[in-house]
A and B are shown apart, each in its own frame.
Chain A
Amino acid sequence: MAGKSFFIDTTRCTACRGCQIACKNWNQNGASMTKNTGSHQNPPDLDAQTYKLVRFSESVDKNGKLAWYFFADQCRHCIEPPCKDAIEAYVEGAVIHDEKTGAVVYTDKTREANFDEVKDSCPYNIPRLSEDGRIVKCTMCFDRVSAGLLPACVKVCPTGAMNFGDREEIMAMANKRLEVVKAKFPNAQLLDADEIRTIYLVVDDPKAYHDFAIASAASGIGRKLAMRRMTKPASRALRAMLPG
């Protein structure tokens, strides 16, 4: 499979949140209202100004050992993005699925889509609604990548947790690192690697990192949306046949 991919090695992440800030700066996203939830995770969730968020999760295993995991959450740029279907059921051409990189990029036309259906269609709970009505998320720094630069979050990473490159190279890097990490952490795994372009390496149950670390079974395409999608080609054909 061609195109680009991210490899996010959570074992190297120190949660400095450089990626979160670099993302904000490159995309010129502003501040968002936040609150102290007793965690360093700030803001508490992704929002229209925060396409990338370092999640902090504490858990205690059955031996009473504390684990503190960091998960640099972002769009997975699915190989077959369900959000594209959900948006384009309402408006054609609102999502760019770039042939060269595989990036899934939302355009301003997403204003005309139904946000709740788009959010529900995402197995990773990524899309957010901006104040001006656009649906927004990580763009894979499409403009930077097209110009031969690394995405802002990868360029900034001081520890090597964030990696980006051609799909084959990234898969090789991820598998190689998985073998190394497995020696110490037998539960180490790559998450949904065959389906998406943002591949995480974790050393424990993915749920200990984030509820949506792996594709959520609850997500999917609503019945109404499927019906809409189903009838759309027919209505378009009908329109094409009508004069004027």
Chain B
Amino acid sequence: MKLTRRDFLKISGAATAGLALSGMGFDLRPVHAFSMELRTKDAKESPTICCYCAVGCGIICHTSTQTGQVVYTEGDADHPINGGSLCAKGAAAYQIAQNDRRITKVLYRAPNASEWEEKSWDWTLKEIAKRVKKSRDASFTAKNEKGLVVNRCDGIVSVGSAALDNEECWTYQAMLRALGLVYIEHQARI
């Protein structure tokens, strides 16, 4: 059997009535002011721009003056684009710096394999370069059917990256165009 809150108060009220004089009644009043230290109290505030989509929201990055570590990020209330608000991705910017679940080593899963294996950056970058060259050589179109020079790499597509900032994106697309890619897409356009 469940009692309603009203019944409950009735019961405890009756039980404590006799003890009211001893000052041990059932006190429903809120306790007195209670304080808690603000995590960002002594942190250094640096304005930055969200690294994700093309909206370009302002973020304040709070950094500990003792450890230099990011302690919190939040929307910049003075920023004309977002006025302090953020979406779920922007709100998660803190975790770019602070998240012990981020993968910090290269993991490689070979074709048809079910297990991931750890690889060195040296091996990884060489492998990427090797495979890009192989695909590019196999799919390169120097001239189209009209005989015009097009120098297109039709066998590779790029989608991304939402985690790059504007300048990184420029460098990235410049590299892709140098390879001859024409299928270049970015999350911010979708």
Contact = CB atoms under 8 A, between A and B. Distances in A.
Interface string A130-160: 0000000000001110110100100111110
B160 interface: no
B22 A18 contact: no
A221 B2 contact: yes
Contacts of B37: 143
Interface string B115-139: 0000000000000000000000000
Given A25-B94, A226-B11, A233-B25, 18 more contacts: A16-B87, A25-B72, A99-B32, A120-B2, A143-B36, A147-B38, A149-B38, A156-B91, A157-B85, A159-B85, A218-B2, A219-B2, A220-B3, A221-B8, A226-B3, A229-B8, A231-B15, A234-B15
A237 B86 contact: no
28 contacts: A17-B87, A17-B88, A20-B88, A22-B74, A22-B91, A26-B39, A26-B72, A85-B8, A97-B31, A99-B31, A142-B36, A143-B38, A146-B35, A147-B38, A149-B38, A155-B77, A155-B84, A158-B82, A158-B86, A159-B85, A218-B2, A219-B2, A221-B5, A229-B26, A233-B19, A234-B15, A237-B24, A240-B22
A96 B35 CA distance: 10
B67 interface: no
What DSSP secondary structure best describes chain B's contact surface? loop
Contact of A230 (B4, B15, B25, B29): B15
B95 interface: yes
Contacts of A100: 33
A62 interface: no
Interface of A: 16-18, 20-22, 25-26, 30-31, 80, 82, 85, 93, 96-100, 102, 105, 120, 142-144, 146-147, 149, 152, 155-159, 218-223, 226, 229-231, 233-234, 236-237, 240
Contacts of B180: none
Interface string B1-43: 1111101100110011001001011101111111111110100
Query: What are the 10 tightest A-B residue pairs by CB atom distance, in nearest-first order?
Result: A158-B85, A143-B36, A21-B91, A97-B30, A220-B2, A99-B30, A230-B15, A17-B88, A221-B8, A22-B91
Nearest to A229: B12
A98 B31 contact: yes
Contacts of A18: 85-88, 90-91
Interface string B56-92: 0000000000000000111101000010111110111
Contacts of A22: 74, 86, 91
A221 B3 contact: yes
B7, B29, B31 interface centre (most CB from chain A within 10 Å): B31
A144 B38 contact: yes
Residue of A93, A96, A218 most packed against chain B (CB within 10 A): A96
A31 B88 contact: no
Q: Report, as a range, how many residues of chain B touch the other chain.
A: 35 or more
B105 interface: no
B24 A233 contact: yes
Contacts of B189: none
A93 B32 CA distance: 11
Contact of B88 (A16, A99, A105, A237): A16
Residue of B3, B31, B36 with highest tally of chain A CB at under 10 A: B36
Contacts of A93: 31
A98 B33 contact: yes
Contacts of B146: none
A98 B84 contact: no
B34 A152 contact: no
Interface centre among B2, B39, B94 (most CB of A within 10 A): B2
Contacts of A233: 15-16, 19, 24-26
Nearest to A97: B30
